Structure formats: C-alpha cells, structure tokens
Amino acid sequence: MFHTARAAAVLGLSSAWAPLLAAPDQRRFKVGACDWSIGKLGDPGALEVAKEIGLDGVQVSLGTAANGMHLRQAEVQARYRAATARTGIATASLAIGELNNIPYKSDPRTIDWVNDAVTVPAALGCRVVLLAFFGNGDLKGDRAGTDEVVRRLKAVAPRAEQAGAILGLESWLSAEEHMDIIERVGSRAVQVYYDVANSEKMGYDICREIRWLGKQGQICEFHMKENGALLGQGRVDFQKVRAALDDIGYAGWMQIEGAIPAGGQMLESYRANQQFLRQTFA
C-alpha cells in the first residue's frame, strides 16, 4: 500500500475526527479482518461474513500450496470482485500465510508465488501483499535465511514497484531488524506490516516502534490483535497505539486478527472487536 502517513501529511488531519458512522470511503481508519481469523481462508465467502460483522473489508489469502495459490487465477479474482459488488465489502489487502509452512527464505516454489502475487492487488483494488515469516519461515537469529530473503526481495522489488504493490514484512523481528532488510533491498515497494500483539509478545516498545518506522514512511498496514482476549481487554494499550498513529498521520486499513477469548464465539467476538476499534479510532 502507498505510504498513508505521507498522504495524510499532505491532506492534513481534517478527516481525523470523522463521524463514527461515516461512509467507509470517508473514514480515516478502515476496519477489516483476516480471512483465516473469520473461518474463511481463501474463500470469497469471507466478504459475506465481514458484512455480517460490520467490517469495511477483508485481508484475503493468496491461497495455499494445495490450491496452487489460486488467487493468482483470473477466474478466482473475478469471484472476489463479484463478492465485493454484492456485499459492498472491499478486498483490503492480500497475505501469503503459507510462507509460515513453506519458507520464502529457502523454498524455490515461493519465488514464483511472490513474483506473481505483486500483480494481483491491482485486479482487486488494493495494494498490500503481506509476507509472513513465522514458524518454518522465522527469520529471528537466522542471518543466512535473512540474506536469502533480501536477495529474493531485491529481485522482485522492481516488478512490485511497476505494479504499484507493497510487500509488507511481518515477523518476530524488531523495527530495527526490519529496517535493516528494507535498507538492504533499497525499494519503496518493501515495508513493514506492523502487528501490535506480536511486538508486545516480543517485549518491543510498540509505540516507539510505530513512531520510528512511521515517520520514515515504512508501515504499510496494521494487524490489531490480541492473543486470547478481545481487543481492549488484553495486554495492548490501544489508546497509546491511537496516539502513535496520530503522531505519524497514519490513515488506512487495520485488520483484526485473533482477539477471541477462551470459549468465545467468532461472530460475537468480532462484532465487539470492530465496535471497539470504531470507538477508539473514531
């Protein structure tokens, strides 16, 4: 996604206090959810569920190894566009979560996945492609793996730039470690996909990182997440997060991930989560 902090700086903060019930295209912050978090991974039916919850959009999965990363196919893209037309719910961004199982740092199959993925956002009206680096793909302490990721990102970055796509890195790395990768790649098409709960779990100073990265124009989008709790009832201080987003002038998408308490139901929890975000980021 284009750097929304810079866009907001140009436009000013006149929309920062837009009414809670303003039309989605008039809101400074748009609220979505990850399709895997609402039980519809790789399924256009995620947009129907999102409408039921009251969301503005969905972060959709490119696919899995089993279905050949099916969102690369024109007919699958058409099904998502039809779902958007039917529901009014946007495809907010894309994600390649399969990279947690089949690592970008080592598996040759992932090169084509990422190379092809950068052309998909334009077909769906979005810009961000999240690249996940957890599980088998973890980069923390893996210098050789990180070096290979840098090499692969350098190769795909010109294609992403031409397509107007942003590759968002989400991992256990700190802000400084992410910036090391970004600076080595040397492309505006590579940014950080910031997950507040991941950073809290790692013991990073969330708001310092948001301000430091954001003022350099290096955050493309956010996961608003808690582990085992509703948003606002866990360990992340979302009021402080809001202040940090104001400081960097961020405007754009925030995707709900996780944030279901033990024994909680998805629909009930996600309605509460989206209401919390609407109030906190109104």
Q: How confident is the model at residue 25 (pLDDT cuts 50, 70, 90)?
A: low
Query: How many other β-carbons are positioned within 10 Å of the β-carbon of residue 130?
Result: 26
CA distance 92 to 59: 5
Q: Where are the beta strands (DSSP E) in the chain?
A: 29-34, 57-61, 90-96, 128-133, 166-171, 190-195, 219-226, 252-258
Q: Which of 78, 75, 110 is nearest to 91 (CA)?
A: 78
CATH superfamily of this structure's domain 4-10+32-280: Divalent-metal-dependent TIM barrel enzymes (3.20.20.150)
pLDDT at 17 over 80: no
Q: What is the pLDDT of residue 111?
A: 98
CA angle 13–24–276, rounded 5-degree value: 80
Q: Which of 255, 278, 252 is nearest to 95 (CA)?
A: 255
Q: How confident is the model at residue 118 (pLDDT cuts 50, 70, 90)?
A: very high
Q: Which of 80, 78, 110, 75 is nearest to 96 (CA)?
A: 110
Query: What region does 133 belong to: left with phi over 0, alpha with psi -120 to 50, or beta?
Result: beta
pLDDT at 204 over 90: yes
In contact, 156 and 167? CB cutoff 8 Å: yes
Residue 205: which residues within 8 A CB-CB, separation 6 or more?
none
Instruction: For residue range 213-264, list pLDDT tens digits in order.
Output: 999 999 999 999 999 999 999 999 999 999 999 999 999 999 999 999 999 9
The domain locations on the chain are: 4-10+32-280
Q: What is the pLDDT of residue 24?
A: 60
Per-chain mean pLDDT for the chain: 93
Instruction: For residue range 64-93, list pLDDT tens digits in order.
Output: 999 999 999 999 999 999 999 999 999 999
What predicted TM-score, i.e. pTM, was given to this entire model? Answer: 0.91
Q: What is the pLDDT of residue 89?
A: 98
> How far apart, in Å, are the Cα atoms of 48 and each of 2, 41, 75, 86, 258?
27, 13, 19, 9, 19
Q: At what angle do helices 143-163 and 109-117 cross, to 10 degrees?
A: 30
Q: At what angle do helices 238-248 and 206-214 cross, to 10 degrees?
A: 10
